[in-house]
Amino acid sequence: MTDRLYIFDTTLRDGEQSPGCSMNLEEKLRVAQALAQLGVDVIEAGFPMASPGDFEAVRQIAERVQGPTIAGLARAHPKDIESAARALEPAAQARIHTFIATSPIHMQAKLRMTPDEVLERAVEAVKLARSLAPEVEFSAEDAGRTDMDFLCRVVEATIAAGARVINIPDTVGYTTPQEFGARIRELIERVPNSDQAIFSVHCHNDLGLAVANSLAAVENGARQVECTINGLGERAGNASLEEIVMILRTRRDRYDIETGIDTTKIVPTSKLVSQITGMPVQPNKAIVGANAFAHEAGIHQDGVLKHHETYEIMTPESVGWTTNRMVLGKHSGRAALKARYAELGVELDKEELDAAFERFKELADKKKEVFDEDLLALLDEGAAAGEERIRLVSLHVASGTKDTPVAAVELEVNGEMLKATSEGDGPVDAAFKAINSLVEPNGKLLLYAVNAITAGTDAQGEVTVRLADGDRIVNGQGKDTDIVVASAKALIAALNKLPDMHARGEHPQYSGV
């Protein structure tokens, strides 16, 4: 009989922890709804104790997102566990995910606890969590570098205390596939009560091995994988959901294991997460990169036209790349827009539809063909509107082969109208200088990237701007058929995030217990 692998998505927790990827409540809800439509088994919605914003996000997701189990992260500490339990109260299926580090370096340098103290704390945490939630997952943080005998003791004791999922994280992405697979097998074989738990893995990608390590674990008995859309996550990220799912599906001959994922929703979900976080997907990224199915060499094109399996091991349609993406134009009505959004997995209430329709009409006036990507981008703009401290009122730029580029910008900053003009090394540089002369703080520009959302010279340009303000990093995205306007919008979106970042909560892995 075919086995089932549970997909635990941590885009909203580990993914959101990566620099510049923080999302607001409305954005988290949209991602959570998309994950539910994608068919993930568990959504780790956040770390409720980290901040009131994280708590509220977990609570709202627990209340409004149907289908998957909703998990909340908690350190092995009563306050964290109680906070997670409160946030998860409205969920139809809730899971408290509690963790403590078990490697020598983490226990000594970070926790300053002995192994016995850690073991005791882990057991107490699981018991408390079990008294407050129907499902408990326990993670031995940095299990990849944990002494095997000690890890076996911790796993046995936490299963006995009531954990039904035991997660083995390779927190620092240190292990190799053979090593990690053997670790999972040894745990399952040596721990006497291992049959009472599902073994899970959570691999980081510091050496580019997160997916390989996760698969090695699956080959050796793990039946839950923790992963993220586009491989987002701390540092080099987590194992990428789309790669794991498509490997299992494409190589069914090797892995007789199924997931509950609707693979045709992979690309739309990837695009949504990229647009919301402002974290672009590299073009040659497996499955979801823009070039993943692009055949450039003539010999390859010829082969694919004769038989697609010559150079394609899966079809672009099977992961949600659609060939016919032209959906709407300026004569399309409200009902068609609502229906297309529903097909993209986005349900809009009347007010949201009215706002989206207004922006859609404006765009359709500038652009003959409105694609799915454009529609998703419109939602993003809508989400950003209304909560802005800085708003772009107007922008005028002049540039050419002989003239010095100059930009005149008008902003509304905290309700006050401000104007500035500036020259620059190009129209974008001039616009940035003019905007920066009007606001504080400016942050340091770390990244400026431009991408065309769809094909054609009338395509909307999507600009990503990354700024650093001290140790805070924020991303902003802007879209427009005029890339200088898109650039100004992206800079303003990033600037708008700077003050909010002061309220960021605790980081689960560096804040000790």
Neighbour tally for 157: CB within 10 Å: 18
| The only residue of 11, 139, 205, 220 in contact with ligand KIV, by rule CB under 6 A | 139
Question: Site residues for Zn ion, window 249-308 (CB under 5 A)?
Answer: none
C-alpha distances out from residue 489 to 143, 223, 400, Å: 43, 44, 22
Stretch of residues binding ligand KIV (CB under 6 A), selected from 150-158, 166-174, 356-364, 377-385: 166-174
In the complex with Zn ion, which residue's Cβ is closer, 167 or 275? Answer: 167
Cβ-closest residue to Zn ion? Answer: 14
In the complex with Zn ion, which residue's Cβ is closer, 226 or 242? Answer: 226
In the complex with Zn ion, which residue's Cβ is closer, 273 or 376? Answer: 273
In the complex with Zn ion, which residue's Cβ is closer, 161 or 168? Answer: 168
Q: Indicate which of ligand KIV, Zn ion, none lies near residue 150 (CB less than 5 to 8 Å, by partner kind).
A: none
Q: Is 15 in the site for ligand KIV (CB under 6 A)?
A: no
Sort strands 165-170 and 198-203 into parallel, antiparallel or unpaired.
parallel
Least Cβ distance, residue 257 to ligand KIV (angstroms): 22
In the complex with ligand KIV, which residue's Cβ is closer, 142 or 381? Answer: 142
Do you know the residue count of the chain? 513
DSSP tally for the chain: helices H, then strands E = 16, 18
The secondary structure of 403-464 as a DSSP string is: SPPEEEEEEEETTEEEEEEEE-SSHHHHHHHHHHTT-S---EEEEEEEEESSSSTTPPEEEE
- Cα–Cα distance measured from residue 472 to residue 504, given in angstroms and rounded to the nearest whole number: 9
In the complex with ligand KIV, which residue's Cβ is closer, 18 or 275? Answer: 18
In the complex with ligand KIV, which residue's Cβ is closer, 73 or 363? Answer: 73
Least Cβ distance, residue 224 to Zn ion (angstroms): 14
Q: Indicate which of Zn ion, ligand KIV, none lies near residue 141 (CB less than 5 to 8 Å, by partner kind).
A: ligand KIV
Sort strands 3-4 and 257-258 into parallel, antiparallel or unpaired.
parallel
Contacts of the segment 471-477: beta carbons below 8 A, 24+ positions apart: 472/498, 472/501, 472/502, 472/504, 473/19, 473/20, 473/446, 474/20, 474/22, 474/443, 474/498, 474/501, 475/20, 475/21, 475/277, 475/278, 475/279, 476/278, 477/275, 477/278, 477/380
Question: Site residues for ligand KIV, window 191-230 (CB under 6 A)?
Answer: 202, 204
| The only residue of 9, 14, 80, 480 in contact with Zn ion, by rule CB under 5 A | 14
- Cα–Cα distance measured from residue 296 to residue 98, given in angstroms and rounded to the nearest whole number: 48
Q: Is 141 in the site for ligand KIV (CB under 6 A)?
A: yes
Neighbour tally for 170: CB within 10 Å: 28
Q: Indicate which of Zn ion, ligand KIV, none lies near residue 99 (CB less than 5 to 8 Å, by partner kind).
A: ligand KIV
Least Cβ distance, residue 234 to Zn ion (angstroms): 5
- Cα–Cα distance measured from residue 287 to residue 275, given in angstroms and rounded to the nearest whole number: 17
Stretch of residues binding Zn ion (CB under 5 A), selected from 9-17, 110-118, 283-291, 337-345: 9-17
| The only residue of 5, 6, 9, 14 in contact with ligand KIV, by rule CB under 6 A | 14
In the complex with ligand KIV, which residue's Cβ is closer, 440 or 510? Answer: 510
In the complex with ligand KIV, which residue's Cβ is closer, 99 or 199? Answer: 99
Least Cβ distance, residue 156 to ligand KIV (angstroms): 19
Least Cβ distance, residue 14 to ligand KIV (angstroms): 5
In the complex with ligand KIV, which residue's Cβ is closer, 28 or 202? Answer: 202
Least Cβ distance, residue 290 to ligand KIV (angstroms): 29
Q: Is 8 in the site for ligand KIV (CB under 6 A)?
A: no
Per-residue tokens: 285: 């990224």
Q: Is 242 in the site for ligand KIV (CB under 6 A)?
A: no
In the complex with Zn ion, which residue's Cβ is closer, 227 or 428? Answer: 227
Stretch of residues binding ligand KIV (CB under 6 A), selected from 23-31, 55-63, 163-171, 385-393: 163-171
Q: Is 169 in the site for ligand KIV (CB under 6 A)?
A: yes
* Furthest CA-CA distance within the chain: 79
Radius of gyration (Cα) for the chain, nearest Å? Answer: 24
State the helix-helix crossing angle for 372-384 and 25-38, rounded to 10 degrees: 150
Question: Site residues for ligand KIV, window 86-105 (CB under 6 A)?
Answer: 99
Stretch of residues binding Zn ion (CB under 5 A), selected from 14-22, 292-300, 407-415, 475-483: 14-22
The secondary structure of 227-289 as a DSSP string is: EBGGG--STT-B-BHHHHHHHHHHTTTT--EE----GGGHHHHHHHHHHHHT-PPPTT-TTTS
- Cβ–Cβ < 8 Å for 344, 337: no
> What b-and-e string marks burial along 30-65, b requiring 16 or more CB atoms within 10 Å of the CB?
bbbbbbbbbbbbbbbbbbbbbeebbbebbbbbbbeb
Residues of this chain that interact with Zn ion (CB under 5 A) are 14
Q: Which residues bind ligand KIV (CB under 6 A)?
A: 14, 99, 139, 141, 167, 169, 171, 202, 204, 508
